[in-house]
Amino acid sequence: MSSPVQPVFRFAPSPNGALHLGHAYAAIVNHRMAREMGAKFLLRIEDIDRVRCTPLLEEQMLDDLSWLGIDWDEEPRRQSDHFGDYESALSVLVDAELVYPAFLSRREIRQCIDHKQAQGSHWPCDPDGSPHYPGDERNWTKIDLQEACHSQPIHSLRLNMSKAIAHVGRPLVFDETGRGPNGETGKQEANSRQWGDVVIARSDTPTSYHLSAVVDDALQGITHVVRGSDLFHATSVHRVLQDLLGFPTPTYYHHQLVLDSHGRKLSKSAGDTSLRALRLAGVTAHDVIRMIGLDTGERQP
Ligand code: GLU
């Protein structure tokens, strides 16, 4: 008889600013769920943005988490130590010809879309608000792309989403045990088509959030992804990448977000709700748990 496999959870913050009440909520919900299930709880430091993520912010982040009472079971995995893993995954997508070099800079993308909108056309956006890529490199021949690579800077590598969906060739699903932003729960069909050709790697970073999250979830054996409902739609991209890369699919639990008094998601620049500022003002971890509406006992929220 095989022994039951221990579930594995992960909390994956980015040290690109001070942690705030929203992170406290996310970390505590995740940690409590893992501990109640007898699961392993891993910490992953998502620091691929080498400009905004700094060692000092990472140190403060770990300190804030410990102060909140969060503990983790292994040495944290720092993404910037593993760029080689993302490059290997990227090469699988490149070899399958599902990725293309994009030559438009951010500014050129904006100008191109402004021009189209001025002519009255509605331009689609990804669920995270980024406009779909307006360039047409996805339709260029291999020879044209090769020539362009020699004469122009490549700004990013993008997933050809339509081709990727065709390559997958069947509907993809995932189990939502929490709730998406519109109350989505239960078995979900991935809606990958709502995304354009997402960035998979940039000229200055050999990966992207989507690629590295999917690779790490697989390499770390993550069985349960717990995160904010703002990332619910990203799961549709993650399902495509998991399928293309031959990775298993974790179970997902998307939780509500902590909002400010205007109903907006807290941002890392919201100094007054940073855990550091609250600590300095004498607030205790227990107070924080109460402030974010979680049970101060040990029962599941
Ligand atoms: N690094 C992401 C964040 O801080 C979380 C990504 C995830 O949980 O998939 O919002």
Are 299 and 180 in a shared domain? Answer: no
Are 209 and 237 in a shared domain? Answer: yes
CA–centroid distance, residue 116 to ligand 1 (Å)? 33
Are 98 and 242 in a shared domain? Answer: yes
pLDDT confidence bin for 3, thresholds 50/70/90:
low
Does 212 reside within a domain?
Answer: yes
Protein residue with its CA nearest to atom 4 in ligand 1: 13
Are 115 and 23 in a shared domain? Answer: no
The CATH number of the domain holding residue 50 is 3.40.50.620
pLDDT confidence bin for 116, thresholds 50/70/90:
confident
Kindly give the interhelix angle for 234-245 and 161-168, rounded to the nearest 10 degrees: 60
Are 69 and 89 in a shared domain? Answer: no
Average confidence score pLDDT of the chain: 94
Are 276 and 159 in a shared domain? Answer: no
Are 183 and 300 in a shared domain? Answer: no
Are 107 and 233 in a shared domain? Answer: yes
CA–centroid distance, residue 143 to ligand 1 (Å)? 38
Protein residue with its CA nearest to atom 10 in ligand 1: 13
Top pLDDT among 297 and 129 is at 129
Are 237 and 97 in a shared domain? Answer: yes
The strands making up 40-45's β-sheet, listed across from edge to edge, are 77-78, 40-45, 8-11, 224-228, 251-255, 173-176, 186-189
Does 53 reside within a domain?
Answer: yes
| Ligand 1 pocket at CB < 6 A | 12-14, 46, 213, 227, 231
- The pLDDT, as a whole number, for residue 297 is 73
Are 170 and 198 in a shared domain? Answer: yes
Q: pLDDT per residue over 239-273, tens digit each?
A: 999 999 999 999 999 999 988 777 777 776 655 58
Are 230 and 288 in a shared domain? Answer: no
* Parallel/antiparallel/unpaired status of strands 199-202 and 99-102: unpaired
- The pLDDT, as a whole number, for residue 265 is 76
Does 68 reside within a domain?
Answer: yes
- The pLDDT, as a whole number, for residue 244 is 98
Stretch (H or E) spanning 158: strand 156-159
Instruction: Return the ligand 1 atom nearest residue 217 CA.
Output: 9
CA–centroid distance, residue 2 to ligand 1 (Å)? 33
Assign residue 69 a region (left: φ > 0; alpha: ψ between -120 and 50; beta: otherwise): left
Q: State which residues form the domain around 50.
A: 1-81+271-301
- The pLDDT, as a whole number, for residue 62 is 98
Does 260 reside within a domain?
Answer: no
Task: Give the N- to C-terminal CA distance of the chain in Å, as an integer.
Answer: 34
CA–centroid distance, residue 14 to ligand 1 (Å)? 7
Are 120 and 225 in a shared domain? Answer: yes
- Per the structure, how many domains does the chain have? 2
Does 261 reside within a domain?
Answer: no
Instruction: Return the ligand 1 atom nearest residue 226 CA.
Output: 8
Protein residue with its CA nearest to atom 2 in ligand 1: 13
Instruction: Return the ligand 1 atom nearest residue 46 CA.
Output: 1
Q: pLDDT per residue over 156-200, tens digit each?
A: 999 999 999 999 999 999 999 999 999 999 999 999 999 999 999
- The pLDDT, as a whole number, for residue 25 is 96
Instruction: Return the ligand 1 atom nearest residue 23 CA.
Output: 4
- The pLDDT, as a whole number, for residue 181 is 96
Least confident of 59-68, 183-192, 208-217, 266-275: 266-275
If you ran DSSP here, which 8-state letter would residue 129 be given?
S
